[in-house]
């Protein structure tokens, strides 16, 4: 078995091409199909490390895992009621989002934000959704909306 890896540029090129093709096929509906992007990473690397039911603590834990795996340099959170504003610094996938914008397509997938949404769903049993992804001042700012707890 080989330990060879591919370059980040190559990986991001493939991610971009897949996302763009998906967008071209599904339009805005594509964003609701990529909410599970990173599910195995979350289960294998993050889930067991989340020990708190406080969302800011979850962000810190997930941020540390993502830093350890060289996916981003850090994340910070601002909470405004049911709105979470997640700022992601130094994400390895930012070039994908920049290319999406250059093709006049708003970014619609974010692995670090998905990790938080999965944590909220798994630990708090709360539905959450990524509402917006913006590229601001060298970082990504993601708006996440929390919904009422499910009553079945």
Q: Please name each of the domains of the chain with its CATH number.
A: 8-146 (3.30.1380)
Task: Tell me the pLDDT tens digit for each residue of 55-88.
Answer: 999 999 999 999 999 999 999 999 999 999 999 9
Task: Tell me the pLDDT tens digit for each residue of 124-149.
Answer: 999 999 999 999 998 999 999 999 88
131 three-class SS: strand
Model confidence at 1: pLDDT above 90? no
121 Cβ partners below 8 Å, 6+ apart?
127, 128
Model pTM above 0.95? no
């Amino acid at each position: 078995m080989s330990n060879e890896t591919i370059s980040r540029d190559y990986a991001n090129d493939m991610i971009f091409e897949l996302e763009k093709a998906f967008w071209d096929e599904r339009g805005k509906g594509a964003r609701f199909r990529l909410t599970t992007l990173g599910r195995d990473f979350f289960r294998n690397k993050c889930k067991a490390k989340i020990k708190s039911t406080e969302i800011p603590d979850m962000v810190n834990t997930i941020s540390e895992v993502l830093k350890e795996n060289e996916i981003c340099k850090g994340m910070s959170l601002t909470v405004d009621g049911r709105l979470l504003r997640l700022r992601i610094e130094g994400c390895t996938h930012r070039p994908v989002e920049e290319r999406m914008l250059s093709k006049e397509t708003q970014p619609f997938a974010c692995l670090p934000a998905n990790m938080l949404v999965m944590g909220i769903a798994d630990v708090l049993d709360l539905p959450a959704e990524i509402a917006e992804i913006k590229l601001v001042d060298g970082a990504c700012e993601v708006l996440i909306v929390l919904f009422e707890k499910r009553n079945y």
